[in-house]
Amino acid sequence: MNTLVETMLNQHLKARGIQDPFVLDAMAKVPREQFIPPELRQFAYDDRPLPIGHNQTISQPYIVAAMIQLANITPESEVLDIGTGCGYMAAVIATIARHVCTLECVPELAELAAVNFAALGINNIDARVSDGSLGWPEDRQFDAILVSCAPEEAPQPLLNQLKANGKMIIPIGRSGMHQMLTSYHKTIEGKIEVNEHIPVRFVPMV
């Protein structure tokens, strides 16, 4: 493990409460530089978002780790990732979970993500171009749903695709204004429990 990765794990993740061993192992294994434009790769392990084109960004490592930890993803999980972008979040999730479905509305970014997945030999991701607010096109349910773009309220189609005891982690709030990383837990009885966690800033859901 190189020094930059160790610094990310110790200073940006563990020191800020990331303790899930699945998350830490996946963050150590997935090379973040693979998902970043060549001219920015020197900043790959800085704890900040970076531009990836098309007015989109790759989220900072801490936010990626925090979202996955909040979702309680395990090796048995089936996960839906909304807002594929360059594919980094999906790749980290896929290192833990059994299978990942991911949706991106910008075709060029979906193509970039597919190239990145192939370069790393990741074969447990099903990626499509689609409106993420509508959920996965087929009638399917997931143990966890992670959303990397901010709507003003949780889309009902996504809540419908949560399994019982599943969790959705999503930033809620208006673009450019106060957003909160929020978890929606569907109980065994089908009720939705909502908890707010940390202030964040994501691109708007479109």
Q: How far apart are CA 29 and CA 159, in angstroms?
A: 31
Cβ-based neighbour number of residue 114 at 10 Å: 15
Select from 46, 67, 93 the least CA-distant residue to 200: 67
Under 8 Å CB-to-CB from 65, ≥6 apart: which residues?
13, 18, 23, 24, 27, 92
Catalytic residues: 59
Tell me which DSSP letter residue 8 carries: I
The 3-state secondary structure of 104-169, one letter per residue: ECCHHHHHHHHHHHHHCCCCCEEEEECCHHHCCCCCCCEEEEEECCECCCCCHHHHHCEEEEEEEE
